[in-house]
Amino acid sequence: MSPTFSLDITVRRRDVDAHVTVDDGETLALLGPNGAGKSTILAAAAGLLRPDTGTVRLGDRLLSDAGDAVGSTRTWVPPHARGIALLAQDARLFPHLSALDNVAFGLRAGGASRRDAAQRAGRWLKEVGMAAYAGRRPRELSGGQAQKVAIGRALAVEPAVLLIDEPLSALDVEVAPDVRDLLRRVTHERTTILVTHDVLDAALLADRVAVIHGGRVVEEGETSLVLSRPTSDFGARFAGLNLIRGVAAEGALRMPDGRLLHGVADSAVDEGDAVAAVVAPSAVSVHLDAPHGSPRNSLAATVVDLEPHGHLVRVRTDLLSADITPAAVADLRLARGDRVVLAVKATEVHLHRA
Ligand SMILES: Nc1ncnc2c1ncn2[C@@H]1O[C@H](COP(=O)(O)OP(=O)(O)OP(=O)(O)O)[C@@H](O)[C@H]1O
């Protein structure tokens, strides 16, 4: 499938140099730490800022071209003419207009008659489950309701691409699932770029994810693959997994300090390859001395921190994190700075090319 939407841009003042593509009907999630450049990429896509170099394309249409490449001409399609809708963290509805008129606004601006715009807006309000609130002003709506109206407004103009910037972050936890369900429905088979800090958004909404770090795409792939076999530190943290990097040696991973971590390798891993080992914290146990008699990796480490993690305690060390029971923490009398031995079965260590 050819990419419907692609950006290949630099924005120097924000140190962003990114190439991102989204296929027709696909949802791509942009993940990454604060300041990584995710919002900058969305802004360049929407036409809210001009890249210093490169292009933004939608199918055959050139939406922006900085004119830096040989033979290229400067091109700039303004935001309203791009066929792209941006859904922000807060609903940003017009306060003086009813929910219906908010949705109808873009349709009217696009040339629809008053009657046609009202009819279509009504259909979209129904689509987002807000038909009963058509006459309400934004101040009479809850945050979740306003966000649903904003989703209806974004979709009513039938954009070719939907951009979503952390749509649930401003909502109470009780209403977020409802709006997430709606987003899941409306992003299905719609070309979408979603910025999120929430692993559940990525898992439920995205076909593919791109991890952004320092303004660059550092990892990209199918959502389930990145969440189970991350190759970037942020990807691993986001997925709640440990990641150790090294080189494939003797059927194991050799860490920079020379220690070996035995695991199950993807068939694609060859001796000498740069590899990453992924280990779930729940697969790591913590001991005061090396355990005997089991086919395990035993690795000396120092406890960096102890923090509650659901019903368990996450023991962070300078090597791996382990999730163990509070009773085990008490039993081991663990404290920060303690030297411990981490044990993990080779079958719980997944080695893949990094
Ligand atoms: N309006 C602005 N003016 C100048 N620099 C900015 C502006 N907004 C962001 N930046 C800078 O650009 C870089 C990328 O920021 P951006 O907001 O795109 O990151 P982000 O990944 O969206 O972060 P967050 O998750 O915190 O929203 C950062 O160094 C940031 O400080």
ipTM value: 0.91
pLDDT of residue 205: 94
Compute, in angstroms, the gap from residue 109 CA to the centroid of ligand 1.
30
- Residue 36 located in a structural domain: yes
Closest residue by Cα to atom 4, ligand 1, is 14
Angle at 1 between CA 64 and CA 222, to 5 degrees: 95
Tell whether 136 is covered by a domain: yes
Measure the CA–CA gap between 238 and 20, rounded to whole angstroms: 20
Residue 204 within any structural domain of the chain? yes
| CATH number where 144 lies | 3.40.50.300
Q: What is the pLDDT of residue 3?
A: 60
Q: Is residue 237 part of a domain?
A: no
Q: Are residues 209 and 292 in the same domain?
A: no
Distances (CA, A) of 209 to 20, 65, 198, 225: 10, 25, 12, 9
Tell me, yes or no, whether 223 and 304 share the same domain: no
List the alpha helices (DSSP H) in 114-269: 114-127, 143-156, 176-187, 199-205, 223-228, 233-239
Nearest CA to ligand 1 atom 24: 34
Give yes or no: residues 202 and 313 share one domain. Answer: no
For ligand 1, the distance from its centroid to the CA atom of residue 38, given in whole angstroms, is: 8
Q: Which two tokens stand for residue 279?
A: 């280990």
CATH number of the domain enclosing 339: 2.40.50.100
What is the pLDDT, as a whole number, of residue 174? 81
Strands 192-195 and 27-31: parallel
Decide: 36 in ligand 1 pocket, CB within 6 A: yes
213 in contact with ligand 1, CB cutoff 6 A: no
Instruction: Judge if 222 and 298 occupy the same domain.
Output: no
Domain stops at, among 167, 199, 228: 228
223 shares its domain with 305: no
Ligand 1, residue 43: give the atom nearest the CA. 18
- Shared domain for 180 and 299, answered yes or no, is no
pTM given for the model: 0.88
The tokens of 300 are what?
A: 């000396």
Q: Which residues contact 225 (CB under 8 A, 6 or more apart)?
A: none
Q: Which of 209, 228, 247 is the last residue of a domain?
A: 228
* 89 ligand 1 Cβ < 6 A: no
Q: What distance in angstroms lies between residue 346's CA and the mean position of ligand 1's atoms?
A: 41
Domain assignment present for residue 235? The answer is: no
Range of the domain at 181: 3-228
How many domains, in total, are found in the chain?
2
Nearest CA to ligand 1 atom 14: 37
**Do 214 and 325 fall into the same domain?**
no
Indicate whether residue 34 lines ligand 1 (CB < 6 A): yes
- Closest atom of ligand 1 to CA, residue 33: 25
Q: Residues 213, 128: one domain?
A: yes
> Separation of 347 CA from ligand 1 center, angstroms?
41
**Residues 13 and 90 both lie in one domain:** yes
Q: Is residue 266 part of a domain?
A: no
- Find where tokens 């279509």 sit: 120
Q: How far is residue 262 from each of residues 42, 290, 348, measured CA to CA in Å?
A: 41, 16, 9
Q: Which atom of ligand 1 is nearest to the CA of 39?
A: 22
User: pLDDT tens digits for the chain (354 residues)?
Assistant: 456 899 999 999 999 999 999 999 999 999 999 999 999 999 999 999 999 999 999 999 999 999 998 888 899 999 999 999 999 888 889 999 999 999 999 899 888 999 999 999 999 999 999 999 999 999 999 999 999 999 999 999 999 999 999 888 877 888 888 889 999 999 998 999 999 998 989 999 999 999 999 999 999 999 999 999 999 999 999 999 999 999 999 889 999 999 999 999 887 888 999 999 999 999 999 999 887 766 679 999 999 999 999 999 999 999 999 999 999 999 999 999 999 999 999 999 999 988
Give the residue from 213, 228, 243 where a domain finishes: 228
At residue 292, the pLDDT reads: 79
> Does residue 46 fall inside a structural domain?
yes
**Ligand 1 atom 30: the closest Cα is on which residue?**
35
Domain membership flag for residue 354? no
Q: Is 14 in the pocket of ligand 1 (CB under 6 A)?
A: yes
Give the distance (Å) from ligand 1 centre to CA of residue 93. Answer: 24
Ligand 1 center–CA 188 separation, angstroms: 28
For residue 40, the ligand 1 atom closest to its alpha carbon is 18
Question: In angstroms, what is the span from residue 304 Cα to ligand 1's centroid?
Answer: 30
CA of 297 to the centre of ligand 1 (A): 41
Contact 151, 182 (CB under 8 A): yes
What pLDDT is stored for residue 294 in this prediction? 64
CA triplet 335, 339, 344: central angle to 5 degrees? 100
With a 6 A CB cut-off, is 40 part of the ligand 1 pocket? yes
Task: Look at residue 126 and give its three-state secondary structure.
Answer: helix
Best mutation site among 39, 48, 52, 89 for ligand 1 pocket (most ligand atoms within 8 Å of CB): 39
Do both 185 and 288 map to the same domain?
A: no
Ligand 1 and 227: CB distance under 6 A: no
- Please tell me the predicted confidence (pLDDT) of residue 14: 96
Tokens at 188, concatenated? 């299905």
